Amino acid sequence: MPNLNPVVSNTTPLISVGEVGLFAIFHQLYGDVWIPSAVFDEYQIGISHHPLRPDLLNLSWISVHSAPSDPAVPTHLDAGEREAIALARAVQARVLLMDERQGRAAAKRLNVPLAGTMAVLITAKQHGMITFVQPYIDQMIGQGRRISPQLRAQVLTQAGE
């Protein structure tokens, strides 16, 4: 029986994938995606400055949820990361989409299943939703996303490119 628990996302995967025109792959891969209020606010604040960023208000498969207070989540993380981890824990998310190193480390310590933007791209390729990963990674880098040469090479190897 498939795991029907929701997928929760932090802000960066939404921005990274959305700004390269692949936002629909989230819905195709995961169905509905839950985000906490802080992630919604962080994402939407950049809409006016980034015309390539889809408006979350127009997407029925993105739903905003209040994140419960969770004393196990480190307070040094930003609000979006804290709320995303807390929400993922509260709903026993199938996966938490998060790229930030400190947030990922905290989520791992709390046994929250994780995937990042690069894993989303690889999975999309494996499911035939995209033909190549490299153009999207390079576009993300061109848009200012921090993707190390080592990570880029590792992802391209995993993608068979």
User: pTM value?
Assistant: 0.91
Going from the C-alpha of 64 to that of each of 10, 56, 140, the distances in angstroms are 12, 10, 25
18 is in which domain, residue-wise?
Answer: 7-158
- Please count the structural domains in the chain: 1
Question: Is residue 47 in some structural domain?
Answer: yes
Mean pLDDT of the chain: 92
Tell me: the pLDDT tens digits for 33-61?
999 999 999 988 877 777 777 888 888 99
Question: Is residue 1 in some structural domain?
Answer: no
User: What is the band of 131 on the pLDDT scale with cuts at 50, 70, 90?
Assistant: very high
CATH number, domain at 43? 3.40.50.1010
Q: Residue 91 — φ and ψ, nearest 5°?
A: -100, 5
What's the whole-number mean pLDDT along residues 104-120? 96
List % helix, strand, coil for the chain (3-state, nearest 5).
Answer: 50, 10, 40
